[in-house]
Chain A
Amino acid sequence: MKRGLWAIGVLLFVLFLSGCGARSELEKQAFVVTIGLDKGEEEHQIEVTFQVANPQVNTTQGAEAQNEKPSDTFTITADDLLSAKELAQSSLSREMTFSHLQTIIVGEDLAQDNLFHRIISSAMIDPEMRREAIMMVSKEPAQEFINANRPTMETRPHKYYEFMEDSWRETGYVPISNLNIFFQRTDGELFLAAYATAQRDPKHGVDEDAFLAGEVPQKGGDPVQIIGSAVMHSGKMVGKLNGEETRIAQLLRYHNLIKTMTASFPDPNNEEYRITVIMNQKSHTRIKVNTDQSPLKIEVEVPVRVQINSNLSLVDYTTSKKKRDHLKKSIEKDMEKASDSLIDKLQEEFVGEPFVWYAHARKDFWTAKDYVDYNWGQKFKDAQVDISYDVTIINYGEQLRPPTLEKLDKED
């Protein structure tokens, strides 16, 4: 017993002898929720914009500060992210921490620069940087984007991005893009990052969802639009995909991350109108990669389940099997066409694929060295890609047939 006490004594003595430096009180820390990265004016310099949440706004009643803004935003020019963090301390009274960092926004200019990959890779050394943080590319410099983003509902910035990310999983217009995936795809594979802007440049007469951020016709509301994706190759941005292409890119993956999406197609039975459907995938996309052939041959079959949501043409599908088959065929054809054009674009412009097909190709190799030597990115450029869709229409809406407006139509 005495020996035990003695051991405890030593433990306590050691405990009291030295303190642990990592301890800090909550109110002495500033929680960064968003970081914006931009190219600096000087070569090799970046401008880092920090958005720091203000705990005294919209959190608890007792500590509400009436006239403060929900977040504090400022920009520091420095050589890298961590030195910017240090420099920021010169004006910020609290110790800045990234432990609740959720979103990293990269200005398009920087993303297209070779510097970007170095910046982000070196920032990862800081254990506070989290690999599940979302990465977005903004059309304008990130600092402008962050400053312009003033959503009415979610005045606290972290909530805004949290809810936005949830909604991406429902629409598919935006890829799920976090740093972990970014670091997986550094070897010739393409990485899709969400594309956002706060500048509006509405484009009309576009087929429903082929928009890029900023192009969606919208009046009022928050200036920010997030749709489409920035294509990154070896850590460098090489192009953009619009909302529709991004969606297809999600569908062509083996593992689709999007739960459901709403899309519209021209009605094959009445070309004037479009038919809107809710789509989800009933099982994993089937992908067959054959690396023995030259050129590389890839066969993809996407099983899609479709529910008719709105039927502008008011064609009565419930009674005619022919019409139904026609509709099915037409959706399949439409999607195959869109997919083919996406593949063409990828092969010509970007020399790579964002569908994780390379993982399927790996099965054909014996050692890792063989695979690296194969140079998937280059081979994909000339690959023969064969995409087919397998559409099942499970539902024609809640009404058995559309309301009869034939008389009205005839009168027109």
Chain B
Amino acid sequence: MIKVSDGEIGSREFFAILYVMMAIRVTDSTPNLLHESGLTASWMIPLISGVALIGPVLLLFRLVKKYETGLIEITFELTGPFFGRLIAFLIFLSVFSSLSLNSRNYADIVITMYYPESSVLWILAVLILGAALYIAHRGLEAIGRTALLVVPLFIVTSVCLVFSTTNEMNYLFLFPIAGSGVTEVAKGGIGYSSLYADVIIAGVLASQVRTFNAYRKASVWGLWVSIGKMAIFLAVYVMVFDFHAVRNIAFPYHHLTRMSMVGTIANRMEAVYLAFWYAGAALHFAAYLYISAFLLGKVIGYKPFKQLLFPVAGTAVVLGMVPENYLEGGPLRMALLYSSSGMFLLLPVVLWGLDRMRKREKK
């Protein structure tokens, strides 16, 4: 093996992984949560989340640069094996629960919007145990390269979608500008910042990225592109449906694809968007599965962590079957998002603090 067999990934691949992890959120029921808390100003929430994340992300960069390794190794180094494991376990829990909740969410979207007569288990199994497991199994390189191949297509379809619905938009619907009020919006922004905490979670893969610069560049780009996409789409949803209606639409992305018109000939393009969306979903869950298994491997100290992929995926599917419908998953998701927001905002700060203390002790 000549060059890439070292298993390292470059900045573009890492960016693509971050993109499939975060940007796809515009398509599920995340916008609903944000619309509910921001009304016409919901598009500002991701931007505020981004601002809230700047500090932790910068601290994380410093740590990664200093220790030249991944987030988990840093944690172990700084907090000792017990707390290291505990923190790794907490991150694992947050990643894994979001994996299983979201996978259910995606299956629900398919059933509600496209295949009303299919069973949840069937969709979940094919998505998680089939495609995502297989992709994750091919390794991080495969995830990165595949993501890099398809992410440009996702970006193009997103742009197409926005442009093909401009006829239906009215920018005035974005007013009143402050939406639900400044405090509400700011609260939402910080509370939902864990939607982009993937940029911190992906820090566990930092050691597999070729250089620190590549890691930093990809993280910054991944973060702002995902946030930008979310902000744009939230604004588009409000502009197309208006804020009264958008609160009642369960999956605005999929309603938007139905309104997408390319001229007068092809005005029912939603199945095409469906295909791209699901390809993205497969990659999204592949990345999540991989990280889950990776973290679990660290927690239990099991090196060939790829063998954990199958049990993790299986458990995710079983847990995904527990809620009766997507409404039950909603509050759980919200609770998860709020609690993990706190964790991910604080983690780099705590680690950095420990690092400083250590330095002082040495002196």
Measured as residues with beta carbon below 8 angstroms from the partner, the interface class of chain A is 35 or more
Taking CB atoms and an 8 Å cut-off, the chain A residues in 223-281 that contact chain B are 254-255
B112 at the interface (CB under 8 A from A): yes
B172–A20 CB distance below 8 A:
no
B126 at the interface (CB under 8 A from A): yes
Chain A binding surface, main DSSP class = helix
Contacts of A371 in B (CB 8 A): 176
- CB closest residue in chain B, given A14: B125
Encode A6-34 as 1/0 by CB contact (under 8 A) with B.
Answer: 01101100110010111000000000000
- Pick from A11, A22, A130, A131: contact of B130, CB below 8 A: A11
B115–A132 CB distance below 8 A:
no
Residues of B in contact (CB 8 Å), total 47
Q: Tell me, rounded to whole Å, the shortest Cβ–Cβ distance linking A179 to chain B.
A: 10
Taking CB atoms and an 8 Å cut-off, the chain A residues in 343-401 that contact chain B are 356, 359-360, 362-363, 365-371
CA separation between A121 and B177, bound complex, in Å?
28
Q: Tell me, rounded to whole Å, the shortest Cβ–Cβ distance linking B167 to chain A.
A: 9
Assuming the contacts A356-B170, A359-B170, asked whether A368 and B114 have C-beta atoms less than 8 A apart, the reply is: no
CA separation between A3 and B40, bound complex, in Å?
50
Contacts of B112 in A (CB 8 A): 127
Number of A-B contacts defined by CB within 8 Å: 107
B129–A10 CB distance below 8 A:
yes
Taking CB atoms and an 8 Å cut-off, the chain B residues in 101-155 that contact chain A are 112-119, 121-122, 125-126, 129-131, 133-134, 137-138
A interface list, Cβ under 8 A from B? 3-4, 7-8, 10-11, 14-15, 18, 20-22, 127, 130-132, 166, 180, 183-184, 186-187, 254-255, 356, 359-360, 362-363, 365-371
B267 at the interface (CB under 8 A from A): yes
B119–A21 CB distance below 8 A:
yes
Taking CB atoms and an 8 Å cut-off, the chain B residues in 217-265 that contact chain A are 240-245, 248, 255, 258-259, 261, 264
B81 at the interface (CB under 8 A from A): no
Q: Tell me, rounded to whole Å, the shortest Cβ–Cβ distance linking A140 to chain B.
A: 30
A180–B176 CB distance below 8 A:
no
B170–A255 CB distance below 8 A:
yes
Assuming the contacts A14-B126, A131-B259, asked whether A366 and B177 have C-beta atoms less than 8 A apart, the reply is: yes
B170–A18 CB distance below 8 A:
no
CA separation between A359 and B176, bound complex, in Å?
9
CA separation between A254 and B119, bound complex, in Å?
46
Contacts of A130 in B (CB 8 A): 258, 268
- Pick from B118, B133, B181, B243: contact of A7, CB below 8 A: B133
New contact pairs (19) apart from A11-B130, A362-B175, CB-CB < 8 Å: A3-B137, A4-B138, A7-B137, A11-B134, A127-B116, A131-B259, A132-B259, A132-B261, A132-B267, A180-B259, A183-B248, A186-B245, A254-B172, A359-B173, A363-B177, A365-B175, A366-B176, A366-B177, A371-B176
B130–A10 CB distance below 8 A:
yes
